[in-house]
Structures are given as structure tokens and as C-alpha cells.
Amino acid sequence: MTLTVRQFPCLSDNYGFLARDEASGLVACIDTPDAEAIKRELAAAGWDLHLILNTHWHPDHAGGNEALKAATGCTVVGPAEVSRIAAPDRVVVHGDVVMLGETRFDVIDTGGHTLGHVTFHDAADSIAFVGDTLFALGCGRLFEGDAQQMWASLQRIAQLPEDTTVYCAHEYTASNARFALSVDDSEPLKTRAEAIFAARERGEPTVPTTIALELATNPFLRAPILRPDIADPAEAFGAVRAAKDGFKG
């Protein structure tokens, strides 16, 4: 049970991910922001695509499905909402299991950014592909769901083991850090923000992150601490999310 992940930039600020189950040699692509970029990465690695795992229906996540399926004959797996782009071969819901060779992905409901958004968790390798739910120092916008739903989804991710490697789908971290510093002046955040700005100066990615790092510094997970004036954690989260939506940093 070893999963090798290749991460590469796609479009303006997305990341593409290829994941190879070393036991079988089978390869999955998590979301399909750019079919051409994904085909180039497959060729560079010398890998054949077997499976697409979609986190949600947005075009920068499922827009390459059809071209990749036509080119490789791969199977498309995702939540029902992906049918807005093209019907997946297999629809998954919370609690389902998707196998890639010997690697097991548990499907976790992480609706909120879109209603049907899911996360794929490989517990044996401590890896989670969280799409646009949790970002490094950020979280997805509430395009379809409400604060209650998103807070519950973020808690499902936050409850994964702290050493879990978290692959987020966008490089939004520097702008997330500017917002985070506007609502939180804790030392761990300041230290992390400095490291993030330096990494971005050097053109380095800030993804993946870990659950431990996000629990310590992510202002959305820390919303109940940052907003002690709001008793309900989901409402505290909603207030921080609304502040970010209006933030001009």
C-alpha cells in the first residue's frame, strides 16, 4: 500500500495530481483541470491513466474528464453532481470505497463549496485529496452550501489524523495568509505566513499541507477561537468566511 503522488500546476492557480498505486502500477488522476497538462505529466512519468477521481463538478476540476477518457479509456468516478459536465461511470457518496489496485480511498462528504463535493482519503498512506474544501490557510467559497454544511465538512477533514498529507486543489496560500494575518496574530500563524511568502517568492508550491498545520493556523478551523463572541461554532465560521469574502488584501 504505497501511493506515489505527482503534483503539477494547471491553469492559472490549480494543481493537478497523479497518484500511482505502487503494488499494481495503476494510476489515478484527482480532478481534471487541464487534459493537455495531465497528458504531458503522464507522458513525463511514463504512466498510463486508469481512473479519474472527481471531487466536485466545477469545470476546473472535471472539465478534462471527457478528453482524458477518450484518450485513455479510463474510468470516471465522482459525486452525482459531476453529471453537470458529463455523467461519471460510477457515482459515489459518503462512506463508499474506491480501490486503485491495493490502495483504498474512502469517500468523505465535504459539501459546501458545492453541495455534492467529496474528499478522497487514503488512510493507509495518510493522504487526503480535499479539492476546494480546505486550502492551506483557507477554505473554499460557499457557492452552493451554507456555513453549517461547510463547517461540518471541515470538521470531517479536521478529524483525520494530524499527520495526514492534505492535497488542496489551488495555490491560494499567499492571499489566504494575508487575510489570516488580518484576523489572527498568533505566533504560529506569523511564523508560517513568513515561510509562505518566502516560498512563493522562490516560486515554490505551498501545497500539500497537513492537518496539524491547518489546525494550528487556519483561521477557518480556528473560527470559534477567533470569534469567542459567537457561541455557535458554525456561525463563528460563517462570520470568518464572510469577512474573507469582503477582504481586500
Interaction site with Zn ion (CB under 5 A): 58, 132
214 contact, one of Zn ion, Fe ion, none, CB 5-8 Å limit per kind? none
Binding of Fe ion by 184 (CB under 5 A): no
34 contact, one of Fe ion, Zn ion, none, CB 5-8 Å limit per kind? none
Find how far residue 113's CA is from the centre of its chain: 11
> Which residues, 6+ apart, have CB-to-CB distance to 183 below 8 Å?
219, 226, 240, 243
Confirm whether 94 is a catalytic residue. no
> Which residues, 6+ apart, have CB-to-CB distance to 229 below 8 Å?
none
Q: Taking the complex as a whole, how short is the minimal distance between the CB of residue 13 and Fe ion, in angstroms? A: 9
Q: Please select the residue that binds Fe ion; options are 31, 34, 60, 184, rule is CB under 5 A.
A: 60
Options 50, 56, 117, 121, the catalytic residue: 56
Q: Taking the complex as a whole, how short is the minimal distance between the CB of residue 54 and Zn ion, in angstroms? A: 11
Measured distance CA(174)–CA(121) in Å, rounded: 26
- How many other CB atoms sit within 10 Å of the CB of residue 32? 30
Residues in binding contact with Fe ion, number by CB under 5 A: 2
Segment near Fe ion (CB under 5 A); pick from 65-73, 129-137, 157-165, 224-232: 129-137
Confirm whether 170 is a catalytic residue. yes
- Helix H, strand E, coil C: the string for 204-222 is CCCCCEEHHHHHHHCCCCC
Segment near Fe ion (CB under 5 A); pick from 46-54, 66-74, 126-134, 191-199: 126-134
User: Which lies closer to Zn ion via its Cβ, residue 132 or residue 184?
Assistant: 132
Segment near Fe ion (CB under 5 A); pick from 57-65, 121-129, 190-198, 213-221: 57-65
Binding of Fe ion by 132 (CB under 5 A): yes
Confirm whether 50 is a catalytic residue. no
Q: Which residues of 82-102 are buried (b: 16+ CB within 10 A; e: fewer)?
A: beebeebeebbeeeeebebbe
Distances in Å between the Cα of 138 and the Cα atoms of 68, 78, 116, 181 are 30, 23, 20, 12
- The beta strands (E) that lie in 37-96 are given as 49-53, 75-78, 90-91
Q: Which three cell numbers stand for residue 17?
A: 495530481
Q: Which residues bind Fe ion (CB under 5 A)?
A: 60, 132
What residues are labeled active site?
56, 58, 60-61, 113, 132, 170
